[in-house]
Amino acid sequence: MKIRSQPLPILFVQCALLICACCSPRGLAQKDEDRLSDTEQQALLKRFPTPNYAEKLDLLTYFPIKQNPASTEPSGMPLRMALGPDNSLYISEANEAQVLVLELDGGMSRRIGARGRGLSQFLEPSLLGFASDSKFAVWDSRALRIQLFDRQGDFVSSFRLFMPCSSMTVDNRGYIYLSFLDAVSNDRPLIDVYDLSGRHLGQFGRRIQASSPFFNEVDLSISEDGILAAWKTYPLIRKYSKSGELLFEHYIDYGPLSYFGQMNMSAKCGAQGTEFHTAVWKIFGGSDAYYLLIGYPRLEILKIDFSGNIKKVLWDDAPKDLFVSDFLIMRHGTKAKIYILEQRPVPGIRCYEVGGL
């Protein structure tokens, strides 16, 4: 399957504009239906005990994110996180409409942007990713535009897209891969590709034919030789080449993932119907494997090779109302550090160190 160019039909764009205000991507901010009661969580813990081969994560450090520098309490709504070429953590913060740049020890380096509709301003910065060592892209989910900045945080350029977007990833060629939220049908290709000037390069991938188009919300991640797509409501993972060819498709048959996936698949859901539960929270691509972040009934990270085999399960206890919105992995020789962006109950970053990842 090759990337094919296809201009957006005018009627479809008009429909998208009408619905964009009510299409809030799953996984950016937690929804009420994603919260488990104490009874539900305990029942799931009993139904899906920790596998014998799973490894307990040891918390190396935790640092809170302060929305207001003058405040002594953590606050805010951190949505996404990316590792910069300077080994800083770039975090989109919705409440203050800024991109926060943190050192790896949690120290605040600088803040980029302010609230507004002008250049270097945001209404709700959400998705972000580095296009090269010198530029990074920020998707504003309310302004429906992408802004490009240099690594110092100075504005470079911007373009609008006119459709709500659920996921974005950027490769080292400067190609931006987006998965749009389509509340009308399941027929739209899964992934759209743009260059840094906003030129539409093409589309590829197919969506699942399900009872609701909202079922097809995916998370995207770059691996060394392709694009990974993980369905948030169903344990289905696909890998595409950067030219749009399908390389593999995996159904991950693993306890909680299968449970929520089958529940969502069997639900008779429409745009105004029963909401879905998130199964896969985030995907992170590696050179020989990919990693899935799960939040129920405990915090888990699955390492899965490119043949679809689960090679490692890492876990930690999940506090009540835990919601994590992103994670990334940094390797240091034989060890790796996992940074997990926590939105609830306290905004902050959990850092774990593991070996043999």
- Give strand pairing partners of 231: 218
How far is it, in rounded angstroms, from Cα 355 to Cα 357? Answer: 6
**Could you report the per-residue pLDDT of 105-129, keeping only the tens digit for each?**
889 999 999 999 999 999 999 999 9
Indicate which CATH number applies to the domain containing 282: 2.120.10.30
What is the pLDDT, as a whole number, of residue 168?
A: 97
| pLDDT for res 30 | 52
- Encode pLDDT of 171-208 as tens digits: 989 999 999 988 777 889 999 999 999 999 999 999 99
* CB contact at 8 A, 231 and 186: no
* 245 inside domain: yes
Is residue 108 assigned to a domain? Answer: yes
- In this structure, the dihedral spanned by the alpha carbons of residues 174, 221, 295 and 357, taken in order and rounded to 10 degrees, is -110
Q: Considering the domain boundaries, does residue 348 fall inside one? A: yes
Residue 5: inside a domain: no
Mean pLDDT, all residues of the chain: 86
Using DSSP's 3-state secondary structure scheme, residue 11 falls into helix
Taking CA 90 as the corner, what is the angle to CA 93 and CA 109, rounded to the nearest 5 degrees?
Answer: 95
The pLDDT of residue 3: 56
Positions of the chain with pLDDT under 70: 1-35, 67-75, 268-275
Residue 179 lies in a domain: yes
Q: Name the region of 120 (left: φ>0; alpha: ψ -120 to 50; beta: rest).
A: left
The reported pTM is 0.89
Q: Is residue 4 part of a domain?
A: no
Position 170 in a domain: yes
Output the CA–CA distances (angstroms, integers) from residue 237 to 151, 186, 258, 290, in the order listed: 32, 17, 13, 10
Based on the structure, what is the number of domains in the chain?
Answer: 1
Structural domain contains residue 2: no
Using an 8 Å Cβ cutoff, are 164 and 23 in contact? yes
Q: What is the rounded distance in angstroms from the CA atom of residue 230 to the CA atom of residue 223?
A: 13
Range of the domain at 251: 10-355
Neighbours of 97 (CB within 10 A): 19
